[in-house]
Amino acid sequence: MWEKDRLLFKVAFQESLNGVRKGDKPEETAAIRESILKGKFGVVTNNSKKFSVFKNTLAMFGIKNVVQVDVNTNCFDFDQIPSLAKALSGRYFESCDFYIARGRLGLPGSGAFTVIVDVYGNVASAVSSPPHHIHKFSLETALFFDVFRLLKRLGISPVHSGITDKTRTFYSPFTVMNVAKRISEMKAAVLKNFTGDSLLIVGGYLDGIFIAEYLKNNFKRIFLYDKEASVMALSSCDEPDREKFDVIIDLTGFGGIDVKKGRAGRFKADIIVSEDPSGSGLLETDKKPDFFLKMNYKSKTSGTMTLTVQTVRKLSTRLEELNDVLYAVPNLFFAESLLFNVKSSSGFLDVMEIPAVSVSVKRDGDFKVDYFENVLKDILQEIEFELAKA
């Protein structure tokens, strides 16, 4: 399987030895991707339910040559990385190109780890997920999400036969979270002129966790404050260690933090920007910042989750207008319940990281994956944000 790619990887190893390696290259990832799609997979497990979910999920990505490597894997719980030991053991029991296993990450209580290794023992892809008592998904759901992320991280998108042999199912190459990020980036674009020593972002859901990244070169330190610990867990920003900042960006929207001249809640700043929550719903606000981040778009609120849901729905509707599309399904789940009620940031991320839309198309049609991106761009161009002096 790897013969023709051996030179490619040999060059990569040589670059590392010579100290000139600059990171992964597209052609290297493409070689792994091609080999995975063409290879024979061994699922190392003695659990028939696990094997069935693995096999069916891999089939969604076009990987059909899948066999069960029936090994009692309990002994591997004594290894430092149990799941990796499971996958590696498959090489002694079945001749395959790749072996996949899911099990414990490390110490008891550390969560799960799903990993693909090749016949030589090299790791091709891996993802971790939290302990069950944190994410609270069933085994089947957790495994489905892990395999999805395992292959998507290599750029492998699911495309498979539909409910009849005359149809195919395509999935958008971007997730619900990707759509949210792009909307947040549009908001951040109008904030690029603010600079200084310190920035405090008040309100992490949903823009706060993204806007900090977009403005990281504008400030020496960026802090994030949100009353929900599960929301804070989504961001790498520090919690505020002071009460005075150069700039405060208030993203709490309708019913959020109280903002008066120079003050947002208990925090103070030379400049305060508040997101105006109002859209066509005309939500009134008593906030008195220096600037408002305003939206020019027909929507009841300016919240990014609101806009994301509307965008994904609109995307589905417009895709259905294409001749070869039979129907489109927006893959929306009320992820907020996982974040704010279950208090699971990891569960929220899992649900948000599935493809935004799936479509059923005629098998003999000319539908292309690029159509997802083309239609999304058209929709996002309709949304505009501006900075207005209060």
How would CATH label the architecture of 3-156?
3-Layer(aba) Sandwich (3.40)
SS3 at position 213: helix
Each domain of the chain, given as residue ranges in start order, spans 3-156, 158-390
pLDDT tens string, the chain, 390 residues long: the values are 556 677 889 999 999 999 999 999 999 999 999 999 999 999 999 999 999 999 989 988 889 999 999 999 889 999 999 999 999 999 999 999 999 999 999 999 999 999 999 999 999 999 999 898 887 788 888 898 899 889 988 988 887 666 677 898 899 989 999 999 999 999 999 999 999 999 999 999 989 889 999 999 999 999 999 999 989 999 999 999 999 999 999 999 877 899 998 999 999 999 999 998 876 556 678 899 999 999 988 888 888 998 999 999 999 999 999 999 999 999 887 788 778 877 878 778 877 888 899 999 998 989 998 999 999 999 999 999 999 998
Give the whole-angstrom CA distance, residue 74 versus residue 97: 24
Give the whole-angstrom CA distance, residue 241 versus residue 100: 45
Strand partners, 198: 221
Q: How far is CA 217 from the centre of its chain?
A: 23
Please say whether the beta carbons of 198 and 245 come within 8 A.
Answer: yes
Please say whether the beta carbons of 112 and 135 come within 8 A.
Answer: no
Name the burial class of residue 218, with classes exposed (0-12), middle (13-18) and buried (19+) by CB atoms within 10 angstroms of its CB. Answer: middle
SS3 at position 228: coil
- Taking the model in full, what pTM does it have? 0.74
Please say whether the beta carbons of 152 and 122 come within 8 A.
Answer: no
